[in-house]
């Protein structure tokens, strides 16, 4: 029997968007390049997240910009679609940086009603600690959460 390989189009099967629902989104850079070790690049990505909020398409609950990926805990706005929000963030970041930045696709998890959003936010912002990038959350500059 031939080994099957995952395909990004299969990952999208069954994906849905629901206004008001929270999602945990992870987006990875092209070939895991560490673009966001650069301060300006990291702030460019953060401004793209803010633009989605300004458009009232997504409310950012928490995020952390890691050197080669983004973790974004967000809530969809009325009439917004998850794929469109992620696409706009990726496109705006790529446009402003002037070169390809992202791998195709992204990973998302629709947050269930019984999941603790604050615990998920703590998990997101603790990523730099687990990766050994910072001795404390306070020392890592590229994160935020609405509860702090």
pLDDT tens-place string over residues 129-139 = 999 999 999 99
Confirm whether 9 is domain-assigned. no
Apex CA 10: angle with CA 8 and CA 14, to 5°? 120
Taking the C-alpha atoms of residue 138 and residue 135, their distance in angstroms, rounded to an integer, is 9
Residue by residue, what is the 3-state secondary structure of 71-111? EEEEEECCCCCHHHHHHHHHHHHHHHHCCCCECCCCEEEEC
The per-residue pLDDT for 148 is 73
**DSSP-derived pairing of the beta strands 107-110 and 143-145:** unpaired
Domain assignment present for residue 10? The answer is no
pTM of the prediction? 0.89
Residue 104 lies in a domain: yes
Instruction: Indicate the pLDDT class of residue 9, thresholds 50, 70 and 90.
Output: very low
pLDDT, mean of residues 13-20: 74
3-state SS class at 13: coil
Between CA 142 and CA 137 the distance in angstroms is: 10
Spatial CA neighbour of 138 closest among 130, 123, 124, 128: 128
| Host domain of residue 138 | 15-145
69 lies in some domain: yes
- Which token pair is 3? 């080994």
**What is the number of structural domains in the chain?**
1
| 103 assigned to some structural domain | yes
76, part of any domain: yes
Is residue 130 in some structural domain? yes
- Tokens 């990291």 locate to 42
Beta-carbon contacts of residue 32 (< 8 Å; ≥ 6 apart): 68, 69
Q: Report pLDDT for 14.
A: 54
pLDDT at 15: 63
pLDDT at 2: 42
More confident residue, 11 or 38: 38
Among the listed ranges 5-9, 109-113, 114-118, which one has the minimum average pLDDT value?
5-9
Q: What is the mean pLDDT of the chain?
A: 91
Residue 78 lies in a domain: yes
Q: Which residue has 């300004």 as its token pair?
A: 54
Burial (0-12, 13-18, 19+ Cβ within 10 Å), 54: exposed
Mean pLDDT in residue range 54-66: 96
| CATH number of residue 52's parent domain | 3.30.70.1290
């Amino acid at each position: 029997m031939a080994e099957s390989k995952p395909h990004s189009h299969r990952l999208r099967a069954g994906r849905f968007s629901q206004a008001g629902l929270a999602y945990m989104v992870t987006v990875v850079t092209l070939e895991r390049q560490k673009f966001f070790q650069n301060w300006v690049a990291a702030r460019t990505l953060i401004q793209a997240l803010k633009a989605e909020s300004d458009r009232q398409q997504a409310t950012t609950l928490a995020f952390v910009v890691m050197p080669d990926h983004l973790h974004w805990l967000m809530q969809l706005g009325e009439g917004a679609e998850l794929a469109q929000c992620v696409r706009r963030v990726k496109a705006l970041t790529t446009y402003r940086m002037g070169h390809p930045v992202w791998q195709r696709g992204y990973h998302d998890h629709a947050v269930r009603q019984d999941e603790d959003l604050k615990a998920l936010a703590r998990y997101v912002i603790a990523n730099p600690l687990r990766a050994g990038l910072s001795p404390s959350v306070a020392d890592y500059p590229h994160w935020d959460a609405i509860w702090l």
